[in-house]
Structure 1
Amino acid sequence: MTTTDFADLEFVVRTIAQTCIDNEKQFGDLDSVVGDGDFGYSLARGFEVVIKDWDSYDRSDMGTFLQKVAVAITGRIGGTSGPIWGTAFIRAAAVLKGRGDISGEDVVAMLRSAIEGIKARGNADVGDKTLLDALVPMTDAIERSVASGANAAETISAAASAAREAADATTTMIAKRGRASYSGERSIGSPDAGAVAVAVILERLDSVWATKP
């Protein structure tokens, strides 16, 4: 996977933001099955702020840019999602501190750091029926793809497929973290909203990557 520049990072972040806004109802409906139903609303409101303030973010380096995005979503996304998603962006930002470009290996390092942050912040792990159940397999797929020498488009496609398969697999799991965990075995039969969000974001990124400026 070749090294990409600041414009590519911005494209990815903007795609994440717009996808969360566009899928507010879907994510909310999924969350309402066993949760409180505010996941879609919370993500959409947080990323609306990111889009609104887009031109004002400090772009002196990639890490600073991601840190500003993290502060914006942490301050606006409600419930447990704000700290979780904010932590992911903050951890990713730390990996890119002072950087003006990014390699495939950097992407893997960012995601691994974000995953560890989410685990610590949410006291969760793979198998607990959370976004980690899609995020970790997705990252594994990216790492394999980067190691094989695949280009960015191929890597994103592989990541999207892995995320979707993993998100669908959460349907048979019992939720062990968050409000959904209160429902016990009733949480079986529907996929985790956070895991689905990861899959939908990657699928959107896969579909639009060829159109990036």
Structure 2
Amino acid sequence: MTTQSFSDTEFVVRTIAQTAVDNEKYFGDLDSVVGDGDFGFSLARGFEIVIADWDGYDRSDIGTFLQKIAMAITSRIGGTSGPIWGTAFLRAATVAKGRDELTGDDVVVMLRAAMDGIKARGSAELGDKTLLDALAPMTDTIEARIAAGDTSDEIVTAAASAARTAADATTELQARRGRASYTGERSIGSPDPGAVAIAVILERLAPAWPSRPIQS
């Protein structure tokens, strides 16, 4: 079973943050099709703070570190994105509380806890055209690849592929949550920005994962 170190957790969070900042315009343009167009801006402003305050976060354990990230996100990201992404990090943090290392199975539990938090916070379910529609298939893929005994490099690559396929598939869905839901059938024909963000993050993470810093 693959064991993920504290440095791996930092690497993932830093990648999420940098990807959000780098894709501000892209995510915003996606959101402007049937939403209010603020998704890219909101996500970037929140994760800019995460990057700026990076060295100051409490690293007593993985759970505490993720909790601090969650608090920063919730307080800095505007609109509905802050509570949704903040809740995801907070639920994952609860699973990792007191831990300095995580197994692959732990990561799956954290992801499922994050999804449960998103469902509760956003009153969303699979098929509602939200980031859940990329997160769930991605998590299922990670769980299946762990069970098959794949390496972490193979697992991250497979997760990226699953997230992209799932994000693209949201194009055919009608939005039932968020501002896009107000447009009804007009929301069909464009992908969900949150789901795309998950795919883009994983596509940034996958090629960088094999050369990530290894904790000694």
TM-score above 0.5, yes or no: yes
Provide the residue aligned with 2:135 in structure 1.
Answer: 135
Aligned AA (2:95):
V
Aligned AA (1:48):
E
Provide the residue aligned with 2:31 in structure 1.
Answer: 31
- The alignment status of 1:88 with 2:82, answered yes or no, reads no
How many Å separate the matches in 2 of 1:135 and 1:208? 20
How many Å separate the matches in 1 of 2:98 and 2:152? 22
How many Å separate the matches in 2 of 1:10 and 1:152? 16
Structure 1 runs not aligned, ≥5 long: none
Aligned AA (1:89):
F
How many Å separate the matches in 1 of 2:95 and 2:35? 33
Spell out, residue by residue over 1:112-136, the C-alpha distance to the aligned partner (whole angstroms, 9 max, x if none).
Answer: 0000000000000110000000000
* Percentage of identical aligned residues: 73
SS at match of 1:55: helix
Spell out, residue by residue over 1:154-175, the C-alpha distance to the aligned partner (whole angstroms, 9 max, x if none).
Answer: 1101100000000000001100
For this pair of structures, how many residues does the alignment match? 213
How many Å separate the matches in 2 of 1:165 and 1:4? 26
Aligned AA (1:98):
G
Provide the residue aligned with 2:102 in structure 1.
Answer: 102
Write out aligned runs for 1:36-75 (5 A): 36-75=36-75
How many Å separate the matches in 2 of 1:27 and 1:103? 32
Provide the residue aligned with 1:159 in structure 2.
Answer: 159
Provide the residue aligned with 2:202 in structure 1.
Answer: 202
Q: TM-score, normalised to structure 1's length?
A: 0.99
How many Å separate the matches in 2 of 1:76 and 1:155? 32
What CA RMSD, in Å, does the superposition of the two structures yield over aligned residues?
Answer: 0.6
Structure 2 runs not aligned, ≥5 long: none
Provide the residue aligned with 2:116 in structure 1.
Answer: 116
How many Å separate the matches in 1 of 2:36 and 2:4? 39
How many Å separate the matches in 2 of 1:110 and 1:127? 21
How many Å separate the matches in 2 of 1:121 and 1:73? 15
How many Å separate the matches in 2 of 1:212 and 1:72? 25
Quote the offset at 1:69 in angstroms: 0.3
Q: TM-score, normalised to structure 2's length?
A: 0.98
How many Å separate the matches in 2 of 1:3 and 1:173? 37
- The alignment status of 1:179 with 2:156, answered yes or no, reads no
How many Å separate the matches in 2 of 1:133 and 1:177? 12
Question: Which ranges of 4 or more aligned residues in structure 1 deviate by more than 3 Å?
Answer: none
How many Å separate the matches in 2 of 1:136 and 1:210? 24
Aligned AA (2:156):
I
